[in-house]
Structure 1
Amino acid sequence: MNDNVTREDSDPQTGSERVFAFFRDKVLSGELKTGDRLPAERDLATQLNVGRPLLRETMRSLAMLGLVDIRHGSGAFVGKADISVLTNFFTFSLAQEQNVSEDIMQARMAIECQAIRLACERATDSDLDRIGGSLTALINTLSDPEKGGMADFRFHAAIVQASHSQALITLYKAISELLKQNHVERRQVTHKTPEVIDDLVESHRQVFLSIVEGDGDAADHRLRQHFAIGDELRRKSIIAAFSSGGMAK
């Protein structure tokens, strides 16, 4: 074997893991921050005991994730992770699972119920304006499943945003595409039933008021009621559709 070929070069996975671990550990420890310049390729390859071709390939992978910013002629710098990459990963991964809609609802409930408690403590006037504006948009789009579903999504996303918890916000964004689809699909089922829509609006209004009041326990309770009401309304609208002969024959 050529003496210039290291064990890591013959086992790319081991070398790649070493490079990823280097960035992970340095960022977690605070030694590297967004915008910091990385060591030169030659020095970094020596430090990590990996071949330069493997290092270059791994750096390109990190750049695709937004973790590294490679500037030709200037070097490589620590970047900021692109949340859309995580969103795409979750969308492709979970979309292939059975009962994904129900599973996503459970994850959504876990995130939102904690987020609304934090929102009661941390929401700013701008946050309340954003949630209130989303509620108005929701009311104005009741007859349009697509626009109404998106307005519904933005209402709940605004609550999570008002939590000012970066972890919750990031997790919510990661499943956002699946959530949007879920909101639209639910609205397609319920939008032609007036009594269902009336209850839907009142349920959202109560959730919003609970945040304005700043009572975390009450907000959590109302949001859980909202989820339960949503499931019940969806079932009623399906029954009504079949009972009225509205389904295609």
Structure 2
Amino acid sequence: MELKRPDEGEKGFEKVFAFLRDRLLAGSLKPGDRLISERDLAIQLGVSRPLVREALRALSMLGIVEIRDRIGTIVTRPDVSVLNDFFTFALAQQADMLDDVMQARVAIECQAIRLACERADIADFERLRAALAKIADTIDEADAGGMADFEFHRSIVLASHSETLAVLHNSMKGLLTHSHRSRRELVQAFPSMKKYLIEDHRRVFEAVVARNPDRADAALRKHFEIGNEYRRRALVGEHDKRKASR
């Protein structure tokens, strides 16, 4: 039985991961291709077969390869939706990261809306129109309303027809839906938010339909600013309540 050297572990995993990554980037490996045998891979990379087997199992759990009996290891197209869970668990425990995530969201959506003004088709406009109607219909509901808000902004990103922006935006879905729901909870404290939420989203929608990237970008950024102002007002209100109760 071949044993793994004590100092081999982490570097060995890196070698296996790098082997697959580099060949995928170079195009010499594609989804559906079969990897060379564990034995040959171990010899080529200078690591033990047990480590190669462990690394391939880890890659299999990530959905990057599939290990098939009597066939070998097949390269697959990973499900990028797993990034959503990863981001949610990795960042949710870091309170100071939420603002950073929101800034990333602004960057993604503002670039997406500019592309949407150029690339959106009739199906994209209909998706946005339906999401806009849902926002109005759920204005008094925290859960359904928060999801309606997310779907509207998600529709903007999809209308950009940029797969990379769509993947990055969806990777933050867990955090973003939580943020949208939290904003909807403020509606009860600030009834004026109802008009703001509906009209702001309508202005964004109309700018995309008009295919005016500057107007759309400005409308979206103003929407973010007003939302942040309501959150600040809510935090001040909470602070004043705690102060008065002491």
Q: Residue 174 of structure 2 corresponds to which residue in structure 1?
A: 177
CA drift of 1:59 comes to 0.2
Change (3 A) 1:242 1:85: closer
Q: Residue 38 of structure 1 corresponds to which residue in structure 2?
A: 35
CA drift of 1:95 comes to 1.3
Letter of the structure 1 residue corresponding to residue 178 of structure 2: Q
Q: 2 CA distance for matches of 1:52 and 1:5?
A: 8
Given that 1:189 and 1:238 are in contact with CA atoms closer than 8 Å, whether structure 2 keeps it comes out as no
Aligned positions of 1:1-249 closer than 5 A: 10-191=7-188, 193-235=190-232
Change (3 A) 1:14 1:238: closer
Give the total of aligned pairs: 244
CA drift of 1:13 comes to 1.5
Letter of the structure 2 residue corresponding to residue 164 of structure 1: H
Q: 1 CA distance for matches of 2:232 and 2:25?
A: 47
CA drift of 1:195 comes to 2.3
Q: 1 CA distance for matches of 2:188 and 2:152?
A: 17
CA drift of 1:202 comes to 0.3
CA drift of 1:234 comes to 3.9
Q: 2 CA distance for matches of 1:17 and 1:194?
A: 54
CA drift of 1:138 comes to 1.1
SS in structure 2 of the partner of residue 76 of structure 1: strand
Change (3 A) 1:240 1:54: closer
Given that 1:16 and 1:58 are in contact with CA atoms closer than 8 Å, whether structure 2 keeps it comes out as yes
TM (norm. structure 1) is: 0.89
SS in structure 2 of the partner of residue 36 of structure 1: coil
Gaps of 5+ in 1: none
Q: 2 CA distance for matches of 1:192 and 1:150?
A: 19
RMSD, aligned α-carbons: 2.7
Change (3 A) 1:238 1:58: closer
Change (3 A) 1:9 1:42: farther
SS in structure 1 of the partner of residue 73 of structure 2: strand
CA drift of 1:90 comes to 1.4
Given that 2:91 and 2:98 are in contact with CA atoms closer than 8 Å, whether structure 1 keeps it comes out as no
Q: Deviation per CA, 1:107-166: give whole Å up to 9, x if none.
A: 111110011001111111111111111111111111111100010001001111111112
Q: 1 CA distance for matches of 2:50 and 2:162?
A: 39
Gaps of 5+ in 2: none
Q: Deviation per CA, 1:171-225: give whole Å up to 9, x if none.
A: 1111110001010011111245432201210000000111101111111111001
Letter of the structure 2 residue corresponding to residue 92 of structure 1: F
